[in-house]
Amino acid sequence: MGHYSEAHICHCLSLLSTLRRNSVVTVAGSRRKTGEEFVDGVMGLAQGLLQLGLQSGDVVSIAAFNSELYLEWLLAIAYVGAVAAPLNYRWSYEEAVLAMEVVRPAMLVFDDSCISWYSKLRRNYFPSLRWHVLLDSSLDLIRTSNINVLTTEAITKQYLRDASVDYCWAPEGAVIICFTSGTSGRPKGVAINHSAFITQSLAKIAVVGYGEDDVYLHTAPLCHIGGLSSALAMLMVGACHVFIPKFDAKSALEAIGQHNVTSLITVPAMMADLVSKFRGNDTCKDIKSVKKILNGGGGLSVALTKAATKLFPQAKLLSAYGMTETCSSLTFMTLYDPKIDQRKLPSVEQTRGICVGKPAPHVELKICVDGSSDVGRILTRGPHVMLRYWKGSPAKASAESSNGVWLDTGDIGSIDDYGNVWLMGRANGRIKSGGENIYPEEVERTLLQHPGVTSAVVVGIPDARLTEMVVACVQIRENWQWVNTSTRDSVAEHMLHISSEILSQYCKEKSLTGFKIPKKFIVWKKSFPLTTTGKIRRDQVRGEAISHLQYLISHL
């Protein structure tokens, strides 16, 4: 049990129940809640969870689309000293089970988003699960289940507003376990405490400039660290939250127009989709209500930055660099500010990698270099760093330095004389595509299961929309033939054939999540380049893949 002087993410509730008592603070479809109603929802859930028997330190997994109920659940779980472990609704059944095996939840809260794999889960015994809770719907499929499924409404119906229930802390102050894939591709549970979330939120409030007048559109899923940390920042300032179940450009633009949204966060793929969708709308020239946009999950290209400033001419556009293990953003960089002459913004020549700006006020960074070079592994320490990987997570290959204080980000870069951080690449070959982390080893293992593939190397190549596009370089077995649209009809009947479409479908059948499936396949007709210790030279494969695709484009 913690002490009252310790940080707790539910501190924000007093602001919402007083200053924002009669103001609308959440909008989800036709549902609108005032600060008082939202806090009542959190308190009702907290009391109901205690009555059920949920204990301090118990883990509650949530698999659901974004909504105000999701946010209430996160706060209620924290209020009673339990730990939330959001699951990605885009996961396959196999991925969800791997994550649940890591955290062993006492409760699973779910909605329609994961019903495809939940129906499979409920037929299999999961020993830690004591409660199944339906977040916000009534499904015929659940009614026929022999599992006793609770609802949010049933848990909160005993709520007594005058009951004296105070918030608690889980052991170590853990509050949320956020999943990120490990080098093996298996989900790793990153345990983050209250202090990290509050410190991160205060940094976003200070740097981006969030306030109580903001109307914030939830574009990022609440299972992602960016969506979680930004949501808490908005709760802390008493802003209004606008929810769409999941991001798509049409819904987002409609919500922005309908609710006069002032702030949102993006990854490059989201921004590209917003720009593309808006270009097809001849009724408007730009969107003036949006004043603050924070982009993460990869840098915006020059072209996309220009397009974004035309679409949102009144918005301050910032980019952030961070990771789950550091509770989101480590550095911030202003790309555009309508209140400042662009000539007065710091100029950074992109000559030594990608500039990601300066560290947040609470973040300490250093470069661990070998020899005389100023380029090395980026290390960080401070209140933002995770507690640890949750028990049951795969071993964290070189996640921390030998003294156990500095966290190794796994990125390679440098810091210049002005304090700017420059990224050169990812030490472990991790691919960042559409805001998602993809580990090539997982994709390679799936491809190698196909009988026609003898070897595969998966790399990320630059892409204006996704930041990096997943490309698979494959070697084909001798008695197999690669086919495409132009050669398919001429394949000899006795030949076994393989193609991009066949491999893509195979990945789907093997339950590889959609964003991990390669967008391009290259037939590799020579040996893959190796280091002196026999490891694949991914950088060299990546360079040759880029050259090959550029050649194909130039000869179309």
Query: CATH number, domain at 484?
Result: 3.30.300.30
Q: What is the pLDDT of residue 534?
A: 54
Residue 45 falls within a domain, yes or no? yes
Residues 43, 180, single domain; the answer is yes
Per-residue pLDDT at 391? 83
> Residue 345 carries which DSSP code?
S
Give yes or no: residues 444 and 543 share one domain.
Answer: yes
**CATH code of residue 401:** 2.30.38.10
Would you say 229 and 176 are in contact if contact means Cβ atoms under 8 Å apart?
no
Question: Of 373, 407, 426, which residue is a domain's last?
Answer: 426
Q: Within 10 A of 116 (CB to CB), how many other CB atoms are there?
A: 11
Verify that 358 and 455 share a domain, yes or no: no
At 146 the pLDDT is: 53
Domain of 402 in residue numbering reads as 354-426
283 and 405 inside one domain: no
Closest listed residue to residue 181, CA positions, set 442, 392, 378, 457: 442
Residue 274, helix vs strand vs coil: helix
Give the angle 171-175-180 at the CA atoms, nearest 5°: 115
226 close to 328: Cβ distance less than 8 angstroms: yes
> Has residue 3 been placed in a domain?
no
Q: Is residue 104 part of a domain?
A: yes
Nearest to 429 by CA among 185, 95, 98: 185
Show Cβ contacts of residue 313 under 8 Å, excluding neighbours closer than 6 positions: 286, 288, 338
Q: Are residues 306 and 389 in the same domain?
A: no
**What local confidence, expressed as pLDDT, does residue 399 receive?**
44
Contact 326, 380 (CB under 8 A): yes
Question: Is residue 188 located within the same domain as residue 279?
Answer: yes
User: Are residues 25 and 160 both part of a single domain?
Assistant: yes
Residue 114, token pair as written in the block? 């994961």
Burial of 159 (0-12, 13-18, 19+ CB in 10 A): middle
Instruction: Tell me, yes or no, whether 336 and 454 share the same domain.
Output: no
pLDDT by residue for the chain (556 residues), tens digit each?
445 568 999 999 999 999 999 999 999 999 999 999 999 999 999 999 999 999 999 999 999 999 999 999 999 999 999 999 999 988 888 888 889 999 999 999 999 888 778 878 776 778 899 999 999 865 554 554 556 789 999 899 876 766 678 889 999 999 999 998 644 457 889 999 999 999 999 999 999 999 999 999 999 999 999 999 999 999 999 999 999 999 999 999 999 999 999 999 998 889 989 998 887 665 557 899 999 999 998 778 778 899 999 999 999 999 999 999 999 999 999 999 998 876 666 665 555 567 899 999 999 999 998 766 788 889 999 999 999 999 866 644 344 433 458 999 988 889 999 999 988 766 777 788 888 878 787 788 889 889 999 889 999 998 878 889 999 999 998 889 999 854 555 445 546 899 999 999 999 998 888 999 999 999 999 988 875 445 678 888 998 999 888 887 776 6
Q: Could you tell me if 422 and 435 lie in one domain?
A: no
| Domain stops at, among 300, 320, 344 | 344
Residue type, 132: H
415 and 463, same structural domain?
no
Domain boundary among 396, 426, 456: 426
Domains of the chain: total:
3
Residue 71 located in a structural domain: yes
Please report whether residue 2 resides in a domain.
Answer: no
Q: Name the residue type at position 365.
A: L
Instruction: Point out which residues pair with 438 in neighbouring strands.
Output: 431
CB–CB of 320/295 below 8 Å? Answer: yes
What pLDDT was estimated at residue 58?
97
Residues 408 and 540 grouped into a single domain: no
Q: Is residue 358 part of a domain?
A: yes
> Can you give the CATH number for the domain in which 82 is found?
3.40.50.12780
Domain for residue 1, yes or no? Answer: no
Instruction: Answer whether 214's CB lies under 8 Å from 261's CB.
Output: no
Strand 407-415 relative to strand 376-381: parallel, antiparallel, unpaired? Answer: antiparallel
Same domain, 418 and 437: no
